[in-house]
Amino acid sequence: MKATIAKQWLLGIGICLSMVSCDSDRVFERNDDFENRIWAAEDTHTFLFTIDDAQTDYEVSLNVRNSLIYPYQNLYTTISIEDSTGTEIYQTLKNTSLFDEKTGEPLGSGLGDIFDHQSVVVSGLRFPHTGTYTAFVTQAMRMDSLPEIMSVGIRVAKMEK
């Protein structure tokens, strides 16, 4: 048990360091943890972020952390983005592969039995104006309680010109 906690702690430190270093294009990134590693179908995660430059193209990515005993090969999520008036500017159903379809080997980066995935949701998104935006993320699997998902998050970054 202590070894698993130590591995999770080291993985978390490594991820934080990698996210902080050399990431000047990142506008926003936050991950929300799930209590007891369960993502309930009615549990929508809300992420508020600010766009200061409406003339730039952005890339929005989904972050997912899961354990090796997650029971499926993939994860379906619904992601929508609204401006401060509640107008939806983007919406999609995202299929993220967490394990190789043929071999069952985990994808993403990991340590021990925990793996992190970052997958692009939309690339080249131009926000219509500066201001506050809200991203909503819900799981869209066929289970009310999705086990062994540890966290979900959103990353918004300026695209290189």
Encode pLDDT of 120-154 as tens digits: 999 999 999 999 999 999 999 988 899 999 999 99
Can you give the pLDDT at residue 3? 54
Confidence of residue 17 (pLDDT cuts 50, 70, 90): very low
Domain that holds residue 90: 2-158
Can you give the pLDDT at residue 148? 97
Can you give the pLDDT at residue 21? 46
Range list of H helices, the chain: 2-20
The CA distance from 144 to 43, in Å, is 10
**Domains held by the chain: number:** 1
Grouping H, G, I as helix, E, B as strand and the rest as coil, residue 68 is coil
CATH number at residue 31: 2.60.120.380
Read off the pLDDT of residues 28-76 as tens digits, 9 standing for 90 and up: 999 999 989 999 999 999 999 999 999 999 999 999 999 999 999 999 9
Can you give the pLDDT at residue 5? 52
Can you give the pLDDT at residue 58? 98
Model pTM? Answer: 0.83
Q: Which residues pair with 45 in a beta bridge?
A: 137
CB atoms closer than 10 angstroms to residue 101: 10
Q: What is the mean pLDDT of the chain?
A: 89
Q: What 8-state DSSP symbol labels residue 40?
A: E
- Check pLDDT > 80 for residue 157: yes
The CA distance from 51 to 152, in Å, is 21
Task: Read off the amino acid at residue 110.
Answer: G
Per-residue pLDDT, averaged over 6-13, amounts to 51
